Structure 1
């Protein structure tokens, strides 16, 4: 969308390619994402967004106005211990841990993380999106990319976004999807295939 030049390097997490010695030479944290810009390495998604937007002057994605930028920074810092943490733990409890342990999900843990995930969505509904139509202001910024990706993890795991309970969030999701096509669907092809498989499996047990 930005026309920033890049060469993608896919890392197969399912094959544990992120924990190899070769990969740890690039990212010692053994996680994704990571970028190497002519040898300059960054290992955190928020820092990567900021760096690329500043280097290539993508001021629509990361405003230069002090207060407008502060709004994007505000969300980027808030999300770590809220929507990101709760959504990731819900996804991990539902999908990752059972696959690693070969045991069914802990229902009590699932309920706990689902409640916390919905609490974070309630914050999106009644604080972030009540204040402005996007998470970082009145237009699409990288704050919205952070938000939509963290929201999509539990959705990929089979959970639903309650449109009646969270109408602002629902409308925001539709706007972000529409404004980032066709890349949104391309980026979420595998998660959406996972969702279809999970829902199909659940329906077959009914």
Structure 2
């Protein structure tokens, strides 16, 4: 994000900056100490947990087959899905508990970041909401808080990722393939 000469490159820092710059309603990044600490705790945790596991499943399901011309080996996919399920369980059982949203009774940037990470594997056909009533109810509250139209618009590209990867430039794929092979060998 660039604001004049000021540049930020970290997503959660950008979110906090934008909330403060535009004086967004307090619930997005609460001023009260404990709800703000809960938002910060989630934002600190998610980088190496839900983001990492959701992104890995996304890459293995959507990018790997296009890049490598084959499906991901079952043991790699099973391990990635297991790690994702662990992260989702922590989101559900630790961060949400019995609250409507991560920081309490109102939606915050933590919920926006969480739903964005979860929708990546969902876009590849992995339904992380299946059998998770608490998580599904939270998703529905996030959708309602944002509005159905905005939620759909925000996830439009990710929900069509399998169609989009079919039209990728094959020359670019071949150039990227050696680096990709190193990542997943």
Asked if the contact 1:72/1:137 (under 8 Å) is kept, the reply is no
Q: Distance in 1 between matches of 2:103 and 2:113?
A: 11
**Residue of structure 1 aligned with 2:128, choices 161, 176, 179:** 161
Q: Distance in 1 between matches of 2:129 and 2:110?
A: 22
- What SS does structure 2 have at the residue aligned with 1:81? coil
- What SS does structure 1 have at the residue aligned with 2:125? coil
**Residue of structure 2 aligned with 1:125, choices 76, 88, 92:** 92
- What SS does structure 2 have at the residue aligned with 1:60? helix
Instruction: Kindly tell me the number of residue pairs found equivalent between the two proteins.
Output: 163
Deviation at 1:196, TM superposition (A): 7.8
Poorly superposed stretches of 4+, deviation over 6 Å: none
1:16-31 paired onto structure 2 within 5 Å: none
Pairing 1:105–2:72 present? yes
Higher RCO (CA < 8 A, seq sep 6+) = 2
Q: TM-score, normalised by structure 2?
A: 0.81
* Structure 1 residues 195 and 138: CA distance shift in structure 2, 3 A: farther
Structure 1 counterpart of 2:60: 93
Structure 1 counterpart of 2:44: 77
Structure 1 counterpart of 2:32: 65
**Residue of structure 1 aligned with 2:11, choices 45, 53, 58:** 45
Q: Distance in 1 between matches of 2:5 and 2:164?
A: 40
- Give the helix-richer structure, 1 or 2: 2
Unaligned stretches of 5+ residues in structure 2: 166-185
Deviation at 1:42, TM superposition (A): 0.9
User: Which string of whole-angstrom CA distances, capped at 9 and with x for unpartnered residues, describes residues 40-65 of structure 1?
Assistant: 11111100011111122222210111
Query: Alpha carbon RMSD of aligned pairs, Å?
Result: 1.9
Asked if the contact 1:98/1:105 (under 8 Å) is kept, the reply is yes
**Residue of structure 2 aligned with 1:147, choices 87, 96, 114:** 114
Asked if the contact 2:92/2:135 (under 8 Å) is kept, the reply is yes
